[in-house]
Amino acid sequence: MSTTVQPHAAAALKQKIADKTALVGIVGLGYVGLPLVRAFEAAGFRTIGYDVDPSKVASLAMGRSFIKHIPSDWIARCVEQGTFEPTADMNRLDEADAVLICVPTPLSDSRDPDLTYVEKTTAAVAESLRPGQLVVLESTTYPGTTRDVMLPILARTGLKPGEDFFLAYSPEREDPGNPDFSADRIPKVVGGLEPNSLELAVDLYRHAVVEVIPVTSCEVAEACKIIENTYRSVNIAMVNELKMLFDRIGIDVWEVINAAKTKPFGYQAFYPGPGLGGHCIPIDPFYLSWVARKHGMPTRFIELAGEINTGMPRYVIARLMEALNEHGKPLRGSEICVLGLAYKRDVDDTRESPSFELMEQLLAAGAAVTYSDPHVPKLPKKRDYDFSGMESQELTPEFLGSLDAVLIATDHEAFDYETIVRHAPLVLDPRNATRDVTEGREKIYKA
Ligand SMILES: NC(=O)c1ccc[n+]([C@@H]2O[C@H](COP(=O)([O-])OP(=O)(O)OC[C@H]3O[C@@H](n4cnc5c(N)ncnc54)[C@H](O)[C@@H]3O)[C@@H](O)[C@H]2O)c1
């Protein structure tokens, strides 16, 4: 990118970024924020991490990670060397030359965007905004948030965007637990409020990630993230619907997908499951449908995909009832162990996990429910469900033999599927996790 920045504040920040003396502040030290700290620290920047949760800050300050794929010894080393300083003191936001915001963007109870975290953080940044600061929103949101929600809050300071301070949007594409793509290896899309903001944000990220893709506006960058997640949601819904059809006509959907994905172009494999989970796919498309409603446009794909995906737990429970029925048992009174509480394989994140919905429906039907998840030893209290206090069961032959069925909600690698099938009387497998099991296949029911 050419050197076009004009005002003094921009030129000074550009220089600090170029010689890596810029202090990079990351707000929100969660699944997205911490990997980002890591990427900038590894690139040679000093970083400061802000979080409103004092227990997280205290844990980091003691060199302890609370995210499985971010090692504690790395945090301890950075804290000791002073390349990463965690703090809960938002009055120190003016110390950072770049403020990268990674706070939650959930849905409200009425499934509308809840931007309270973004608004509060922006207000905290505005409190001490000074000339020469670059503010970048990384949280997933609908197109227009940076300009329509953040800019007015920052502009109330009297400082001028593009001259005194700089504002950009760059969506986080973190894939927790994916060993092939850590934050620094994922190309980053960046949109700026105006040319100076874009140039400074691109300069900064170029140091830390493998590739930066500048786009012409914050809105394009915001829409880019939403299109990626909507694409996943719609394709997963399609394959979930086809799974139900194929089940009915006796075709194994997994075999079909494995065959289809041999096509070297024009097809990308998506896999069915017991429902959608995680912080992104079940939530983000609804940010877009909310904007669409404001513009009087229906988003039928999004709504339909949401409907199909949220209906999957009910389908899985119906399949479990059929399977138990074949064994002469009702669901009421049966002992069912749900395997995997995290929303996807080999992670410890239970946000929006369909396992909770499955457990809820099992309990409502009168089943006795336990769970096993090596990554989630004890259940946290959730906003929608309260299973707090439940503990993960060890899958011993005796325990498995005492059950009426196991339900594989999440296909963690740590599970020993041969042992599970050998000792459990019935295995419901909506993930095709037992595909390589050789003995006792008559006990496996796909769903
Ligand atoms: N987790 C993912 O895989 C993923 C992937 C891509 C994008 N995203 C998006 O990134 C954003 C953050 O997600 P996450 O998974 O890291 O969430 P998280 O809950 O793991 O982390 C968010 C952190 O922000 C802190 N926080 C909340 N309000 C704050 C405030 N006002 N000031 C400072 N800190 C505050 C919380 O205490 C928490 O530690 C969301 O918009 C999400 O949609 C997440």
Closest ligand 1 atom to residue 173 Cα is 6
Q: Which is it for strands 46-50 and 84-87: parallel, antiparallel or unpaired?
A: parallel
Measured between alpha carbons, how far is 317 from 154 in angstroms, rounded to an integer? 49
CA of 47 to the centre of ligand 1 (A): 17
CA of 103 to the centre of ligand 1 (A): 4
Q: Which tokens in the block code for residue 146? A: 């940076």
8 A C-beta contact, residue 371 and residue 365 = no
Q: Which residues are CB-neighbours of 251 under 8 A, at least 6 positions away?
A: none
Measured between alpha carbons, how far is 164 from 133 in angstroms, rounded to an integer? 8
3-state secondary structure at position 316 = helix
Closest ligand 1 atom to residue 171 Cα is 7
157-196 pLDDT, tens digit each: 999 999 999 999 999 998 877 888 888 999 999 999 999 9
Closest ligand 1 atom to residue 140 Cα is 41
CA of 315 to the centre of ligand 1 (A): 31
Q: Indicate the burial class of 173 (C-beta count within 10 angstroms; 0-12, 13-18, 19 or more).
A: buried
Measured between alpha carbons, how far is 272 from 204 in angstroms, rounded to an integer? 39
**Catalytic option among 78, 218, 224, 280:** 280
pLDDT at 121: 98
Measured between alpha carbons, how far is 417 from 396 in angstroms, rounded to an integer? 12
The Cα angle at residue 69 between residues 53 and 175, in degrees rounded to 5 = 90
Q: Find where tokens 């009055």 sit.
A: 91
pLDDT at 439: 95
Closest ligand 1 atom to residue 67 Cα is 20
Which residue in 254, 278, 433 sits closest to 354, CA to CA? 278
pLDDT at 390: 93
CA distances from 217 to 170, 174, 445 (A): 10, 21, 49
pLDDT at 188: 97
The backbone torsions φ and ψ at residue 3, rounded to the nearest 5 degrees and listed phi first, read -85, 95
Query: Order of strands, edge to edge, in the sheet holding 427-429?
Result: 368-372, 335-339, 405-408, 427-429, 444-446
Give the rounded distance of the alpha carbon of 260 from its chain centre: 28
For ligand 1, pick from 169, 172, 349 the residue to mutate: most ligand atoms within 8 Å of CB.
172
Residue type for position 240: N
pLDDT at 5: 61
The Cα angle at residue 431 between residues 447 and 281, in degrees rounded to 5 = 105
Torsion angle of the four alpha carbons 237, 239, 244, 248, in this order, in degrees rounded to the nearest 10: 160
pLDDT at 307: 93
CA of 77 to the centre of ligand 1 (A): 24
The backbone torsions φ and ψ at residue 388, rounded to the nearest 5 degrees and listed phi first, read -60, 140
Protein residue with least CA distance to atom 33, ligand 1: 51
Pocket lined around ligand 1, Cβ cut-off 6 Å: 27-33, 50-53, 56, 102-105, 117, 120-121, 139-140, 172-174, 176, 279-280
Measured between alpha carbons, how far is 304 from 312 in angstroms, rounded to an integer? 13
Q: Which tokens in the block code for residue 357? A: 């919905």
3-state secondary structure at position 201 = helix
195-241 pLDDT, tens digit each: 999 999 999 999 999 999 999 999 999 999 999 999 999 999 999 99
3-state secondary structure at position 313 = helix
CA of 332 to the centre of ligand 1 (A): 39
Q: How many helices (H) and strands (E) does the chain have?
A: 15, 13
Protein residue with least CA distance to atom 27, ligand 1: 103
pLDDT at 1: 47
pLDDT at 4: 62
Closest ligand 1 atom to residue 53 Cα is 37
Please list the ranges in the chain whose pLDDT falls under 70: 1-6, 383
Q: Which tokens in the block code for residue 9? A: 């504040």
- Specify whether the backbone of 151 is left (phi greater than 0), alpha (psi in -120 to 50) or beta: alpha
The Cα angle at residue 188 between residues 187 and 190, in degrees rounded to 5 = 150
Q: Which DSSP state fits 337? A: E
Q: What is the DSSP string of 16-65?
A: HHHTT-SEEEEE--STTHHHHHHHHHHTT-EEEEE-S-HHHHHHHHTT--
Q: Which tokens in the block code for residue 195? A: 């040319």
Indicate yes or no: pTM above 0.85: yes
Is residue 78 part of the annotated active site? The answer reads no
Q: Which is it for strands 165-169 and 188-192: parallel, antiparallel or unpaired?
A: antiparallel
pLDDT at 168: 98
- Specify whether the backbone of 162 is left (phi greater than 0), alpha (psi in -120 to 50) or beta: left
Beta pairing partners, 213: 189
Protein residue with least CA distance to atom 37, ligand 1: 53
CA of 80 to the centre of ligand 1 (A): 25
44-58 pLDDT, tens digit each: 999 999 999 999 999
